[in-house]
Amino acid sequence: MTLVTAGAMIANIASYLLQLLAGRWLGVAGYSEFASLLAVQLLCAVPALALQNVVARELVHGADIAALRALRRRCALLVAVAVVVLVPVVSALLEVGIAASAAALGSAPALVVLAGDQGVLQGSRRFRGLAVVLGVTGIAKVLPALVVLACGGGATPALWAAAGGIAAAAGYARVVAGSGRPVVPADGSVSGPAAVPVGTPGVAGGFAGVFAVLQAAQVQAALMALSSADLIVVRIVLDEPDASRYALGTIATKVAFWLPQAVGVVLYPRMAQPASSGSAVRSALAVLSGIGVVAVVGAALAAPLAPVLAGQDYAPIEGLLWLFALHGAILAVLQGALLSAIAVQRTALAGIAWAGLVLEMMLVLTLASSVTGLIATVASVATVTTTVVAVLVIRMAAGRRVPAPA
């Protein structure tokens, strides 16, 4: 978990640095467009995250590595077709150029290819390699975009540069993943891939594999929509300066959301195994809640640094950063609960998250008219949604029974 945390933190720090410097260089007049396009790019990660979870789960269950990589190719092709269709739609919704929309969506197929190999590393418990890939991906994505912005480029060239970096990272991940050999745990147990004959197809083959990814994708989509929808509609409900201030405040949300990413990544293979699923779910939710408390306190203490780092234009949100962090911490717990649902193929729970999203959009579009009102609304809806999902997940874990060994 320490290794994966280190790799994830390198990627996250790089991402926060990009947003912070972009907020300074583009100013309150131009940063909201860049932030909205970044939110779209985050939504592009939905099929990639879904594929990673399915690949890791099926590898734990003994699926053939060749079948899993064939599944990755099919998913990448389907995502590429979807990108072509969605580019003009996103352009019209966000009122940006076709080139900007294509830049935000263009990284989606490469993200799918990258996620396939991350799933291989995760499912085979090769966490050292996964940590390296996470760190390299973060740097490869952010560094080219920073160079473009530093040279005076706008949002569109920066996002194209980021897409190129992601493609390069996908090639590197394929080298690291290699043959996908599992790592035998320190206790010598043979759970996971080593316990099942090589070549077991699982759901990785043909349409069944794509359907499994789609099931996981709708869970990930609900989570990502809840964490990104406010950034997409912020330009509708707030004026341009306040929209930029709100967008910068969501950096604290992202910090609290992604900070405990390693918890779910490391415990996910255990969630997928009947013998350890219940304890893994309870451990994940407890650790995520504890880290969330630390993140909120840290945001409150570090709030005076925000105007210093980003500029005095962002001083009005200083006292709200703890609330932004609380929103992210709550979503991190929701992510852990939904990951457990994917691990045991109980993806119907995502319906609660979708209902929360609908409620959030209704309240935001009718009630929110200020930065404070918007963040208070989305944080409140996230709290209710997470509480309901977490209670149901814990009850399912408590009621799960493992068959006695023969």
Q: 3-state SS string over the chain? A: CHHHHHHHHHHHHHHHHHHHHHHHHHHHHHHHHHHHHHHHHHHCHHHHHHHHHHHHHHHHCCECHHHHHHHHHHHHHHHHHHHHHHHHHHHHHHCCCHHHHHHHHCCHHHHHHHHHHHHHHHHCCCHHHHHHHHHHHHHHHHHHHHHHHHCCCCHHHHHHHHHHHHHHHHHHHHHHHCCCCCCCCCCCCCCHHHHCCCCECCCCCHHHHHHHHHHHHHHHHHHHHHHHHHHHHHHHHCCHHHHHHHHHHHHHHHHHHHCCHHHHHHHHHHHCCCCCHHHHHHHHHHHHHHHHHHHHHHHHHHCCHHHHHHCHHHHHHHHHHHHHHHHHHHHHHHHHHHHHHHHCCCHHHHHHHHHHHHHHHHHHHHHCCCHHHHHHHHHHHHHHHHHHHHHHHHHHHHHCCCCCCC
pLDDT for the residue 404: 44
326 pLDDT exceeds 80? yes
206 pLDDT exceeds 60? no
Over the stretch 219-277, which tens digit does the pLDDT of each residue have?
A: 888 888 888 888 878 878 888 788 888 888 888 888 889 888 888 888 888 887 777 77
What value does the mean pLDDT take over residues 122-133?
91
Over the stretch 23-56, which tens digit does the pLDDT of each residue have?
A: 777 776 667 778 778 778 777 788 888 899 899 9
What confidence category does residue 330 fall into, taking pLDDT thresholds of 50, 70 and 90?
Answer: very high
308 pLDDT exceeds 80? no
What confidence category does residue 196 fall into, taking pLDDT thresholds of 50, 70 and 90?
Answer: very low
